Amino acid sequence: MIDVSRLLEVAKKAALQAGEAIMEVYTSGNFGVELKGDNLPLTLADKAAHAIIVSHLQSTGFPVLSEEGSTIPFEERKNWNYFWMVDPLDGTKEFIKRSGEFTVNIALIHNSIPVAGVIYAPVPEILYYGSSETGVYKTEKGKQIRLTFLPQKIAFEELHKKEQVTVVASVSHLNNETVTFINQFKNTRSTSMGSSFKLMLVAEGAADIYPRLAPTMEWDTAAGDALLRSLNKGTYTTDLVTPLTYNKETLLNPSFVAY
């Protein structure tokens, strides 16, 4: 058996130190923005955070799959039992816009399932971390709270019975399909946040549901998904029952709904 608690401590230190490096770039005003091959922006903060996180996680002996790392062939990684999935700076566009809504995401994956996660938001200095073995915690301004584990999963049908459903959605990806999905509920209240904050609003109970009917990558969701599963919530494909899986050949997520 692996010591999940010890592994989480390593991941927490990695995320916090990466956050410090990100904030150094953030406050300097020199982001060093360049475009990657997929036309997505890359900054000095992405690179610095990646290097710090990898240096910490290598000590665990598990492979690291990072958005900013070298491409690892599926033929190699398909045989991994445990590995780390990392997004050193989730929300690079939010970082460039200086919205403050960006995070560091680190997930431990076991046989395609995210089993532990760390999410750190450097600007508000909010840290989420946990697993089913340890429980899930939120630390903010020196105060730590344990997030509530659901004794029973919420059935999707139960949301239709609520007097009001709080939906968190991405403003930049609010397509017609998403609007149609939201409109199935009789009375909704909408909120929006950048990066992994949306999954954490569901984890905390500040939002009931997060539909993402637009493309994302596995490293965008893995850490948040791990925390949701550890609270007896989940992130599902659009059939609303099949959980997302990780370490696929393409690393692209299908549309999903978290609740």
Label residue 172 by pLDDT band (50, 70, 90): low
Q: What is the CATH number of the domain that holds 99?
A: 3.30.540.10
Nearest in space to 102 (alpha carbons), one of 125, 85, 136 = 125
Indicate the average pLDDT of the chain.
Answer: 94
pLDDT at position 166 is 96
Residues 17-30: tens digit of each pLDDT:
999 999 999 999 88
**By mean pLDDT, which of 3-12, 38-47, 198-207 is the weakest?**
38-47
Q: Which are the contacts of 86, defined by CB distance < 8 A and separation ≥ 6? A: 50, 53, 54, 57, 64, 65, 66, 67, 69, 105, 106, 107, 219
Structural domain includes residue 190: yes
Q: Domain check: are 41 and 137 in the same one?
A: yes
Label residue 206 by pLDDT band (50, 70, 90): very high
Structural domain includes residue 108: yes
Q: Give the best-scoring range by mean pLDDT among 13-17, 141-145, 154-158, 176-180.
A: 13-17
Q: Domain check: are 62 and 137 in the same one?
A: yes
pLDDT at position 37 is 66
pLDDT at position 25 is 93
Nearest in space to 224 (alpha carbons), one of 248, 208, 202 = 202
Give kind and range of the element (H or E) at residue 172.
none
Q: Domain check: are 123 and 214 in the same one?
A: no
Q: Domain check: are 40 and 135 in the same one?
A: yes
Q: What is the mean pLDDT of residues 135-156?
A: 95
**By mean pLDDT, which of 60-64, 178-182, 226-230, 242-246 is the weakest?**
178-182
pLDDT at 73 over 70: yes
Q: What is the mean pLDDT of residues 123-138?
A: 98
Q: Domain check: are 139 and 232 in the same one?
A: no
DSSP 103-171: EEEEEEEETTEEEEEEEEETTTTEEEEEETTTEEEEEETTEEEEPPPPSSPPPHHHHHHSS-EEEE--G
Label residue 6 by pLDDT band (50, 70, 90): very high
Q: Domain check: are 184 and 107 in the same one?
A: no
pLDDT at 175 over 90: no
Residue 239 carries which side chain, given as an amino acid letter? D
Q: Domain check: are 107 and 20 in the same one?
A: yes
Task: Please report, rounded to a whole number, the percentage of residues in the chain having pLDDT higher than 90.
Answer: 81
Residues 32-68: tens digit of each pLDDT:
888 876 668 888 999 999 999 999 999 999 999 999 8
Q: Domain check: are 115 and 193 in the same one?
A: no
Q: Give the best-scoring range by mean pLDDT among 39-43, 67-71, 221-225.
A: 221-225
Structural domain including 127 reads: 4-146
Q: What is the CATH number of the domain that holds 164?
A: 3.40.190.80
Higher pLDDT, 172 or 241: 241
Number of domains in the chain: 2
pLDDT at position 39 is 66
